Amino acid sequence: MTKKKIILVNLGLRRPLYPLATPPMGILYLSAYLRRELKDLDICVINQRLENYDVEELSKQISKFAPHIICLSTLTTFAYQLPNLVPLLREVCPESWILLGGPHASAVRDNVFNDVDVDVVVPGEGEIALKQIIESYPEKGNLQNIQGIIWKSSDGQIINNPGMLPMIEELDELPFPAYDLIDLSRYWKHQSIAPIVRRKYVSLFSSRGCPYQCMWCHSIFGRKIRMHSAERVVDEIEFFAKKYNVTDFEFLDDNFNFNQRRVIEIAELVHKRGLKIELAFPTAIRGDIATQEVIDAMHSIGTYLCGFSLETGSPRLQKFTCKRLDIDKFLKAVEITAKKNIYITGFCMMGFPTETEEELQQTIDVACKSRFHTASFFTVTPFPGTPLYEWVKENKPEKLEKLNYNNMDFSAMNVNLTDLPDKVLFSYQRKAMKKFYVDPIRIYRLLRSYPKPLLLPYYLPIFIHRATKGLWNSEKPNC
């Protein structure tokens, strides 16, 4: 056979006032691994979120590449496109295998086949499984030897292969992400995960997996954290700094600071090599283990933005949700970080099952007492594949019946898992926004410390849209 042609597609759409489009990191790491492991491979990447193609256009673009294997990756919020997209792909690429991976596939597993006619579902980490699937092509029967995948045989049977999908144990064995497969400069015109629009940056991951067990969270990469060594992290920074002439790096780890020693080693190496960089950690560092020493080290190598996840100000809910954050230590870390003039984006959630008015107020109080520059008050939403979803299914199944994930905006106020009336929960969310933002000192700090002041005019409309979300909408609760 000539070269096997593989197309990897990240599904997602941009909203007009929320122009987020970030490099599809999972796909870029995956592509780099496949290219190294397999010869005679031709790989193409499409990020629907960047292109904003509708499903017709997307299927046309995919067919132009004439792929042998089409790998679709999606979040649950964009999975509603699959029942339209997959039949179109069957028409334009009748010989191709269609695979589904990413968070939605991990969450719903073989239920995918109820809605769409794909060939293989790959839950969890994809590198090793995808390599084996490509090696199997075009003999479907060979798929039976790949642990943990779910596939449809030629006679239409859905087969759950036994065993667990193997994961990459030594993360340093992975090659650098295949940035050459995308036009990175196109992403610099949009917003990254950090609340900054239009800047030159490179996104990276320095770890996979998370040992915490927050009940709303999936565990695609497992409950054991695997980390790149400090040496490898700094090698990667140095490589991409030269390749793209950038100084700004955005780390998207779930727990960059889990290993305190490693953070300090990274800082030492950056200094030793004389790298002049800027770092953002928008997806949050773990606040209650961020010591003064660690924050000093991060600040010393150019950290200018950190996300901190409080989620709830209620000690009872911290236990109930298994987040188990030490709120006092968390607030202290936020304080230390703010003193370094690092911009802090805080994350809170409102509307946990069993949450009371007093507990909603506790979250508002802690957020307002904190030195966050901005805060998001997200609505608690149970996604399939999470312990929260299972809890709701067991205890409040009627809430799931009405839930509609399609194109859901996480900050929208239309899900209510509490026992409180909708209007009470949503009024607390509005109150949280008002109390947090209608504060001259907060606004002054926010404007003074915004990390890229010249870019503030680009972000301000997005910020106003987000900060006022739900303040005067009349969205009907869907749960």
**CA 403 to CA 479: how far, in whole Å?**
5
Exactly one of 72, 130, 210, 301 binds ligand SF4 (CB under 6 A); that residue is 210
Long-range contacts: 54-61, Cβ < 8 Å, 24+?
A: 55/81, 55/84, 55/85, 55/88, 56/88, 58/9, 58/85, 59/85, 59/88, 59/89, 59/91, 59/92, 60/92
Length of the chain: 479
Question: Is residue 217 involved in binding ligand SF4 (CB under 6 A)?
Answer: yes
Whose Cβ is closer to ligand SF4: residue 53's or residue 383's? 383
Whose Cβ is closer to ligand SF4: residue 97's or residue 221's? 221
Strands 248-251 and 150-152: unpaired
Helix, strand, coil percent values for the chain (each to nearest 5): 45, 15, 40
Helices (H), 402-439: 422-437
Whose Cβ is closer to ligand SF4: residue 152's or residue 286's? 286
Question: Is residue 212 involved in binding ligand SF4 (CB under 6 A)?
Answer: yes
Q: Name the segment binding ligand SF4 (CB under 6 A); options: 191-199, 206-214, 287-295, 405-413.
A: 206-214
Q: Name the segment binding ligand SF4 (CB under 6 A); options: 60-68, 207-215, 233-241, 433-441.
A: 207-215
Count of chain residues binding ligand SF4 (CB under 6 A): 6
Q: Which helix (H) or strand (E) holds 71?
A: strand 69-73
Whose Cβ is closer to ligand SF4: residue 320's or residue 437's? 320
Angle between helices 357-369 and 422-437 (to 10 degrees): 10
Exactly one of 119, 127, 236, 254 binds ligand SF4 (CB under 6 A); that residue is 254
CA distances from 40 to 3, 5, 36, 65 (A): 5, 9, 10, 16
Whose Cβ is closer to ligand SF4: residue 254's or residue 359's? 254
What are the beta bridge partners of residue 10? 47, 73
Binding mask 164-203 for ligand SF4 (x = CB under 6 A): ----------------------------------------
Q: How far is the CB of 254 from ligand SF4 (least distance, A)?
A: 4
Question: Is residue 214 involved in binding ligand SF4 (CB under 6 A)?
Answer: yes
Q: How far is the CB of 472 from ligand SF4 (least distance, A)?
A: 30
- For tokens 């770890």, the residue is 207
Question: Is residue 289 involved in binding ligand SF4 (CB under 6 A)?
Answer: no
Chain positions contacting ligand SF4, by CB under 6 A = 210, 212-214, 217, 254
